A and B are shown apart, each in its own frame.
Chain A
Amino acid sequence: MLSNHIIVGEGRPPWYKSDGQNCDCYVVGIAGASASGKTSVAQRIIKNLNVPWVVLLSMDSFYRDLTEEELEIAHRNDWDFDSPNSYDYDLLLETITKLKEGKKVDVPIYDFETHKRVPNKANTVYGANVIIFEGIFGLYDKKVLEMMDLKVFVDTDADICLARRIKRDVAERGFDVAGVLKLYQRFVKPSFDTYVYPTKKNADVVIPRGLENLVAIDLLTKHIQRQLQERKMQSRWDMAKISPPKELSPNVIVLEKTKQIDGMHTIIRDRSTTRHDFIFYADRLATLVIERALNELPYETHTITTPTAKTVHGLRLNAHVVGVSILRAGGTMEAGLRRVIRDAVIGKILIQTDPSNGEPQLHYCKLPPSIRENSTNDDTYIFLMDAVIGTGAAGLMAIRVLLDHDVPEERIIFLSFLSAPQGLHIISNAFPKVRVVTSYVDPVLNPHTLFLEPGLGNFGDRYFGTEND
């Protein structure tokens, strides 16, 4: 029988410690002569590693914009693109530094025709566990070298490199053989001898013969795998075993237990409640959680005139709310959000449990431009939504994603129907400025099932109707 639950591919396992701090990602630098096979070696390593969330970064993206004078030279084909002077090392260093810290980065796109970066366009890269950076000057800049965990030099014989280059440039770049040779003699070869070859001494590993050297590539892969293993994070099962303090953090807001809140909880917790009723009361409860969360935002004085021509000094919301749901169950709060903020923009983060070890994995992340561009969003607040905060593992991951996109911690308000003290503690401990609004806190998080007790079962299944009969 076909399963009703399909997850294709592996998600990204946690890349941060239980205190929410990022672990550095692993950076591999690969240098070597032009057409020595750097890219092929990198691709082979990626294939062998067989882990998701590996980013291949090419030095070609970091050619700097040429000045007007330099452009003239370039258009006469006299500019030396093989010189280290052609690259923007500041941007390269910034990019690798941010990636290593787990931050989101925008990698420029270089246009080889205009010799400029394509304006207002970039490849957004986020969430690498391993970065492989390759280029002829991959091991050239001292500061970039300091960022690297493993430095590789691909040492392929010059005649093979030249032969490949002729083949490639004639077939793919419209050169004739004479043109390639001219360029080679004038720029490529002198640059290699003067600048590139000396960087070989910066390498930890030298791979002779490039891609053909399967043994070397295999050894490298094994080494990287071992390094990744050593960075294993604290497990979700351990998180469930912590004894949280009696008092909740002041940034955790639990809705006042009115008769209505208690009555609605009685309905959604009852295992005999129909889905029809479950959805209705979940939506009602979500609306109240959202209304409460809105009170956490800043307001400013706003003076208006009534139809009776009276002046009223009222208030106005001085914030822009973006919803982000942690899928699947966090999506159950969207109806409530839309009831309160009609046109709320909603981003999505799909986090699923890895069936092999119960750890959360990030599978998908689509955030709205106001988060991604990080430009004029001074008044943007994020309502991060999940149905239940249990161990806090998924929430921790989602908050980490937002922080990696440079959302300030104090701009995140994490909403849930139901929470466990363990998860609330994990979240507040890791991110003390994140506020949590929840409609109820249950006393027990079962360390064996990771379900809350008395709890309400699987919220997403009951709301979306995907539970097994």
Chain B
Amino acid sequence: MSYQPPPQVIQLPQTQQLRALTTIIRDKDTQRADFIFYSDRIIRILVEEGLNHLPVVEKSVITPTGKEYHGIDFQGRICGVSIMRAGESMEQGLRDVCRSVRIGKILIQRDEETCLPKLYYAKFPPDIASRFCLLLDPMLATGGSAIKAIETLIDHGVAEERILFLNLISCPEGISAVVAKFPAMKIVTADIDEGLDAKSYITPGLGDFGCRYFGTDK
């Protein structure tokens, strides 16, 4: 692929096993149980990678052998924020890695009149402004709802550079739209697709992630 994402974007290393995982979730013939299982596996890897971009401090501990191990400790607390509904599919993967993490929710829907994304609902931990936010949405297409969600977080006092946006599949259009608006934020993505089709779906993509994960398609 000739597309070079901007430096704010961290794409997971395209290992063979990751490519095999994305192949499974892209396949229209993949059964739902498999879709969920393999999506969760990718999401865990995404979260693990995302957490690597949070600040740390040095920390030494004493091991049971009585020796010192010079390691690190994570600085600051985190919370997940899922963009409903599809973002909620990433919560299990997040919890597998960050047990009992607090999770905020944002519901954004397309406004029938203006055709623009509109915020319908948000509920965050009260101290969200002091936390690092892992914003969850599996697909980054036009970036419309992501931008709306990030604006909402910033309105609640979260600093732009303290947001990590995690998604499974993104595309150049969505990346440039979001990066242009929030250059201090990082995006962690598993795969970057060619682009958008006439209906603004990611292509080749994988269809509607939320519907396939929650089983509400057809």
> What residues of chain A have their CB less than 8 Å away from a CB belonging to chain B?
258-260, 262-263, 265-266, 269-272, 280, 284, 287-288, 291, 294-295, 297, 299, 302, 304-308, 310-312, 314-317, 339-340, 342, 446, 449, 451-458, 462
Which one of A265, A294, A308, A449 lies within 8 Å of B197 (CB-CB)?
Answer: A308
Q: Given A259-B54, A263-B72, A271–B64 Cβ distance below 8 Å? A: yes
> Is residue B214 within 8 Å, beta carbon to beta carbon, of the partner chain?
no
Residue numbers in A under 8 Å from B16 (CB-CB): 295, 297, 299, 315
Residue numbers in B under 8 Å from A272 (CB-CB): 61-62
Residue numbers in A under 8 Å from B74 (CB-CB): 259, 263
> What residues of chain B have their CB less than 8 Å away from a CB belonging to chain A?
15-17, 19-20, 22-23, 26-29, 37, 41, 44-45, 48, 51-52, 54, 56, 59, 61-65, 67-69, 71-74, 96-97, 99, 197, 201, 203-208, 212
Q: State in angstroms the CA–CA spacing of A20 and B71 once bound together.
A: 35
Residue numbers in B under 8 Å from A451 (CB-CB): 65
| B62–A312 CB distance below 8 A | no
| B63–A315 CB distance below 8 A | no
Residue numbers in A under 8 Å from B206 (CB-CB): 306-308
Q: State in angstroms the CA–CA spacing of A456 and B44 once bound together.
A: 25
| B27–A306 CB distance below 8 A | yes
Q: List 30 A-B contacts (CB under 8 A).
A: A259-B51, A259-B72, A260-B48, A260-B51, A262-B56, A266-B69, A271-B64, A280-B99, A284-B97, A288-B48, A295-B16, A297-B16, A302-B20, A304-B29, A305-B28, A306-B26, A306-B28, A306-B204, A308-B204, A310-B204, A314-B19, A314-B27, A315-B20, A340-B41, A446-B65, A449-B65, A453-B65, A456-B63, A456-B65, A462-B64
List 15 additional contacts besides A262-B56, A307-B206; criterion CB under 8 Å: A265-B71, A266-B72, A280-B99, A287-B44, A297-B16, A302-B20, A306-B28, A306-B205, A307-B212, A308-B205, A314-B23, A315-B19, A315-B20, A452-B65, A453-B67
Residue numbers in B under 8 Å from A299 (CB-CB): 16-17, 19-20
| A316–B207 CB distance below 8 A | no
Q: State in angstroms the CA–CA spacing of A271 and B62 once bound together.
A: 6
Dominant secondary structure of chain B at its interface with chain A: mixed
Residue numbers in B under 8 Å from A317 (CB-CB): 17, 20
Q: State in angstroms the CA–CA spacing of A366 and B44 once bound together.
A: 32
Q: State in angstroms the CA–CA spacing of A240 and B67 once bound together.
A: 19
Chain B nearest CB: distance from A340 CB in Å?
6
Chain A nearest CB: distance from B173 CB in Å?
15
Residue numbers in A under 8 Å from B205 (CB-CB): 306-308, 310
Chain B nearest CB: distance from A79 CB in Å?
59
| B204–A311 CB distance below 8 A | yes
Chain B nearest CB: distance from A330 CB in Å?
19
| B52–A260 CB distance below 8 A | yes
Write the chain A residue with the least CB distance to B99. A280
Q: State in angstroms the CA–CA spacing of A260 and B65 once bound together.
A: 23
Q: State in angstroms the CA–CA spacing of A312 and B17 once bound together.
A: 16
Residue numbers in A under 8 Å from B212 (CB-CB): 307
List of 3 A-B pairs having minimum Cβ-Cβ separation, nearest first: A314-B23, A457-B64, A266-B71
| B65–A455 CB distance below 8 A | yes
Q: State in angstroms the CA–CA spacing of A339 and B44 once bound together.
A: 10
Chain A nearest CB: distance from B20 CB in Å?
4
Chain A nearest CB: distance from B55 CB in Å?
9
Q: State in angstroms the CA–CA spacing of A462 and B207 once bound together.
A: 45
Q: State in angstroms the CA–CA spacing of A79 and B26 once bound together.
A: 68
Chain B nearest CB: distance from A455 CB in Å?
5
